[in-house]
Amino acid sequence: MEEVKDQIQKEKKSSLEEQALRSFVVNDIINKPPHWLLRWGVTSVFIVIILVLLASWFVRYPDIISGMATVKAENPVVLKSSLVNGRLNKLFVVDGQKVQKGDALLSFENPMSADEYSYLQSFLIQFDSISNKSDLAQNLILDIDTNRNFGLLQASFNRLSSAYLAIQELNSRSIDSMRLLNLKEQISNYENLVSIAETQVRIARNELRNAEQKHKADKKLFKEGVYSKVDFMDMESAYRGKLSALENAKQTKGQYKVTTADYKRQLSELEYELQKERRELLIELNQALATLKSEMTNWEQSNIILANTDGTINYLVDLFEGRTVLAGEPLLAIIPEDQQYYVSAFIPPSNYGKVQIGQEANLKLDNYNWQEFGILKGKVKTVSELPTEEGYRVVVEVLNYPEVKAAHKLELRPEMNGMLEIKTNDLRLIERFFHNLKKIFERKPIKKDEEKDEK
C-alpha cells in the first residue's frame, strides 16, 4: 500500500513539474516582444487595406456604352443648287461675303433684267409696308413705270397697276366728294328746320291752350248774354285759328322730317355705292397682288437664287457671269453665323435601358486625335423611344466646345464622325463590390430552390 501511495505522489509531483515547466515556456513566449518584421508587416497590411478601402470609396468606375456618333448643327449649312439649265447672268455676292435672309445671290439669263427685277422687288415691298390695304391709296403714292419689260410677269404687273390706279381715281373723284358734302349739308339744314318747327309746335300748343281757356270763358259769357252772337263767332274764329296754327306747325315739322330722312337715305345709298366700289377694287387689288407675288416666287425659284438664312457665302465651284450650269448642280453654300452644335449617336438595344437623360458623355472625333486635341464633353439631352435599324438614337448636348476650341484650335463642322461614350451606373468601386456580392447571395437561394424542385 505504501508503495502505491509513493508512486501516486511521485506521479503528482511529476505532473506538477511538467505544468510548471509548460507555464514557464508559455510565459516566456508571451512576455517576449515579437520580431520587428512581424510587427511592421501587420501594420503595413492594415495600412494597405485602409488605403484600398479609401481608394475604392473615392474612385468611380462607370459602365461605358459606346456608339457611332455624328456632329450635327442646329442651323445646318444651306446648299444652293441650280433648278434649271442656263447661263449665269449676274453675281450679286462674292465668296466669303456675309448675307442676310432674302438677299439675291445670283441670277440666270431671262427676258427681265436685274434692274427691272430690283424695281419690281421694291414695288412689292412698298405694298407690303402698308398693313391696312384699305388705306393704301392714301398712304402710298407709287410712281408706276409702264415702259419697263417684266417678261412673263408683265400681265400680272399691269393688272396690279390698274387696280391701284382705279382706287386712286376713286379717292380723287371730286364729284363724289361734292355729292357727299351737299347731302350732309342738306341733312344738317333740315335737321335745323326740324328743330325750329318743334319750337313752333310748342309755341302753337301753348297759345292753343290759352285760347281754349279763353274760349271756355267767352262761351260762358255768351250764354249769360254778355256777348252778342256776332262777337262770339269772331272769338270762336280766333280760337279755331290757333288750332289751325298748331296743325300747320305739326305738318311743317313732319315735312322737314320726311325731307331729312330722304336726304339721309340718299347719303346712305351713295356711301354704300362708294364703299361697294372701293371694296371691289380692293379685292381686285389684293388678288392682283397675290398673283404677282406667286408668279414672282415661281420666277425667282427658276431664275434667281436667294439666301434663305443669314450667314457667310462659300463658293462650291468657280462662279462667273456667263458660266453655264446644269440643273441640280451645287453652286454655293451659306454657313450660318454663331452655329450651335450637338451630337447624334446610335446605341445598341442591349444597353438601351441604362441610358438616361442628363448622363455624362464623351466624344472622340475621328478628325482630331483625342489624345492631342482633347475630348468633347456633354450630357444626354434626349433618348428615342423607338429603335431604327442602327439602334436607339441619342442626342447629346456639347458643353465644353468653346474651351476645347480655344485651347486646341479644334473646329467643329457638321457631319464630323466619332465615337460617343456614355457613362452609366457611375458607382464607387466599393459600391460595385457590394453590388456584385449582393448578386451572388441572391443567386444561391434560387439555386437551392431549383435543386429542391429537381428532387
Q: In this predicted model, which residue has the larger pLDDT, 402 or 134?
A: 402
Average pLDDT over residues 115-136: 71
Contacts 24+ apart (CB under 8 A), 233-240: 238/211, 239/211, 239/212, 239/214, 239/215
Write the pLDDT tens digit of every residue in 380-389. 999 988 888 8
Lowest mean pLDDT among 256-260, 302-306, 391-395, 441-445: 441-445
Average pLDDT over residues 169-188: 79
Give the burial string for 40-79 (b: 16+ CB within 10 Å, else e).
Answer: eeeeeeeeeeeeeeeebeeeeebeebebebebebebebee
pLDDT of 48 reads 74
Contact between 442 and 434 under an 8 Å Cβ cutoff? The reply is no
Rg over CA atoms, the chain = 54
Write the pLDDT tens digit of every residue in 251-280. 877 888 888 888 888 888 888 888 888 888
Residue 9: other Cβ atoms inside 10 A: 10
Write the pLDDT tens digit of every residue in 354-370. 888 888 888 888 888 88
**Residue 391 per-residue DSSP state:** B
Q: Apex CA 25: angle with CA 24 and CA 28, to 5°? A: 85
Please list the residues that pair with 341 across neighbouring strands.
73
Contact between 379 and 399 under an 8 Å Cβ cutoff? The reply is yes
Average pLDDT over residues 190-205: 80
Q: Residue 131's pLDDT band (boundaries 50, 70, 90)? A: very low
